[in-house]
Amino acid sequence: MDDYLVSAEERMQKTLDNLNEEYVTIRAGRANPGVLNKILVDYYGTPTPIQQMANISIPEARILVIQPWDRSAMKNIEKALQASDIGINPNNDGTVIRLVFPELTEERRKELVKDVKKKGEAAKVALRNIRRDVVESIKKAEKAGEITEDDRKADEEQAQKLTDKFVEKVDKAIEEKTKEIMTV
């Protein structure tokens, strides 16, 4: 496989990984520590992920418990949670912070599914852009006399197959996340 196809595959994999990371942060009515992934807490002047400051546990299906290792960071963690877009008000009892995930309404589930699909479509656009870049590189290589017309056609076909494979993976990720959200 040519270098540009190898780099295209790596870029497409990164796009898929990024989509999966975004999906982890979308809550589906159950407690999931992944919703905290993008939240940074001001810890002695340094933005720090909550996972590096506290023990996170799930005692019940819809409750997430954050137990800071440094109690003095409790207020900052609580502020960061309130400022975040997770839409859950933290309960601080002095030793732990509890996040109680409410049951999702049918309307909210549908909104989340729309968001999932929008993120999935954005990932597909990114994949197609990567394919377009690769095809341009292949055509340039042919014009420069580095590859033959037959090689160009074969490489373009490989690029299309690679794109199709990743688009299928994105569709599968969309389907799985939608199913997870719509499951009551």
The CATH class, in words, for 33-100 is: alpha beta
User: Is 1.10.132.20 the CATH classification of the domain at 3-24+105-182?
Assistant: yes
Amino acid making up residue 82: Q
- Separation CA 68–CA 160 (nearest Å): 49
What pLDDT was estimated at residue 10?
A: 93
Task: Quick: pLDDT tens for 10-69.
Answer: 999 999 999 988 887 776 667 778 778 788 888 888 888 888 888 988 888 788 898 998
Task: Quick: pLDDT tens for 79-115.
Answer: 888 888 777 788 888 888 898 887 778 888 888 899 8
Q: How far apart are the first and last CA of the chain?
A: 45
The mean pLDDT of 150-170, rounded to a whole number, is 92
Closest C-alpha to 177, from 1, 23, 4? 23
Q: What's this model's pTM, rounded to 2 decimal places?
A: 0.71
Closest C-alpha to 121, from 163, 170, 175? 170
Please report, for the chain, the start and end positions of each structural domain, with discontinuous segments joined by +: 3-24+105-182, 33-100
